[in-house]
Amino acid sequence: MKKEFKYVGRTFPPDHGVRKVTGDLDYCCDVKMPNMLYAKLLLSPIPHGIVKQINTSRAEKVPGVIKIFSHFNSPNKMFSTYRIIPGQQMCFEDETLFAERVKYVGDRVAAVVATSLAAAREAVSLIDIEYEELPALLTPEEALNNREVKIQPRGNVVHEYVVDVGDVPPTTEDCITMESETQTQRIHHAAIEPHGCIAYYDTAGKLTIWTPTQSVYGVRTVVAELFDMNYSDVRVIKLPIGGSFGGKQEFLFEPVTSFMAMETKRPVKLILDREECIIHTRVRPPVKTRIKTTVTKSGKLLELIADSTLDSGAYAGASPDYVATLSQKVCKLYRIPHYRHSGRAVYTNTVRSGGSRGWGAPEIITAVEIHMDQLAKKLGMDPVEFRLQNLVHPYDMDPVVQLSLGDARVIECLQKGAEAFRW
């Protein structure tokens, strides 16, 4: 007799679509709580410098202002916005709640907490700050070539990662080589919903955070470790996400909002405006990639050597992991007897980079595919036919991660695509 299950084998139409189009779904900006306070950030107008003095006397006179925070009255403990689990590798603790030394236009300098958003905005505009400006390194090339200016104490190179698999092919007269260089650009996620969160620290010492994050456990890990709390004392409630595309994967605002809630003992809400979202959050990292290939005159790939430099911005975040992931993409698409990729993430005095859709694939595959088109042209071959000679087959072994690619029908996809668009 067939067993009837409560959920298995049944259809449950999602209700969030109707709630979204009717305006019935509450996002972070819609949430209201009794006795709630509103926070506004003051962001650095310079790319690199030291905060010498902060004068808040005028701001404190604004009616409704509860407290003003900066590095002068907040913890200076370093943390990583990318840590998801305790002991996670490639997480560099290189930032504080508020910067004493600002590292990009948009770095957090101070925050006002007030009984209304209008009061918080007015107070922020009245804070006077004295900066000692420092030389700014705005590109990875500048950061790598300048040994005197260090954006972070550990130096300007965040992380390096090398992949080298297969055997170097012998050089013969039947082989040709080609080199190319490609630069992908910095791109903001531009989700419709702005970034923000709400935090409340109750009288029992329990912290609750409401946030449209992609990782509730990551928020808990970062916040609990930053404030030396038990994980069980930090509760994270995931709110509906009005778009992320990777931009809400890291934890930029939950730590600072939690701190302000702990200090005021009231719910604190922080919502960024569009300008703040663009200059203060995360972007797809700019990546410059140089590629050199060796190929037979008949079009068979023998070797691909790539070198990528990723602009991490002022903080590490996900950049070290991004470089490692980026380097592992190429052999999932092409059969390459010898593949080597050298990658590095570099600090610059620019907006911080982070995770974005594709996680490294758009950056490296853009460079590779442009190179393949140029290589096919140099060989006098049709670019589709050239690729058909070199694409992976079903159940090929990925030499980088040593796992099967499964039923990867890349060749069949290209053939059907070429037929469909009448190549």
Q: Which pLDDT tens digit goes with each residue over 194-246?
A: 999 999 999 999 999 999 999 999 999 999 999 999 999 999 999 999 889 88
Confidence of residue 5 (pLDDT cuts 50, 70, 90): confident
pLDDT attached to residue 16: 78
Confidence of residue 1 (pLDDT cuts 50, 70, 90): very low
Question: For residue 150, what is the DSSP state?
Answer: -
Contact (CB, 8 A) for 323 and 308: yes
Gyration radius (Cα) of the chain, Å: 25
- In this structure, what is the dihedral angle of CA atoms 198, 203, 206, 212, given to the nearest 10 degrees? -10
**pTM of whole model > 0.75?**
yes
Q: Examine the pLDDT at 35 and tell me if it is beyond 70.
A: yes
Q: 134: phi > 0 → left, psi -120 to 50 → alpha, else beta; which?
A: beta
- End-to-end Cα distance, the chain: 54
Angle 225-321-99 from CA coordinates, rounded to 5°: 50
Task: Quick: pLDDT tens for 106-164.
Answer: 999 999 999 999 999 999 999 999 999 999 999 999 999 998 999 999 899 999 999 99
Q: Examine the pLDDT at 355 and tell me if it is beyond 90.
A: no
Contact (CB, 8 A) for 143 and 345: no
Contact (CB, 8 A) for 90 and 161: no
Q: Examine the pLDDT at 340 and tell me if it is beyond 60.
A: yes
Measure Cα distances from 121 to 9, 279, 345 in Å.
53, 17, 36
| Whole-angstrom distance, CA of residue 195 vs CA of residue 248 | 8
The residue ranges of every structural domain in the chain are: 157-187+283-420
Confidence of residue 15 (pLDDT cuts 50, 70, 90): confident
Q: Which CATH number fits domain 157-187+283-420: 3.30.1280.10, 3.30.365.10, 3.40.640.10, 3.30.1490.190?
A: 3.30.365.10
User: Taking all residues of the chain, what is their mean pLDDT, rounded to a whole number?
Assistant: 94
pLDDT, greater one: 339 or 356: 339
Contact (CB, 8 A) for 314 and 348: yes
Contact (CB, 8 A) for 291 and 218: no
Lowest mean pLDDT among 83-92, 137-146, 371-380: 83-92
| Whole-angstrom distance, CA of residue 138 vs CA of residue 48 | 10
Q: 422: phi > 0 → left, psi -120 to 50 → alpha, else beta; which?
A: left
Q: 26: phi > 0 → left, psi -120 to 50 → alpha, else beta; which?
A: beta
The helix/strand count (H/E) of the chain reads as: 11, 19
Q: Stretch 173-187: mean pLDDT, rounded? A: 93
Lowest mean pLDDT among 26-30, 136-140, 336-340: 26-30
pLDDT, greater one: 16 or 421: 421
Cβ atoms within 10 Å, residue 128: 11
Angle 41-42-46 from CA coordinates, rounded to 5°: 140
pLDDT attached to residue 2: 57
Contact (CB, 8 A) for 181 and 288: yes
pLDDT attached to residue 20: 85
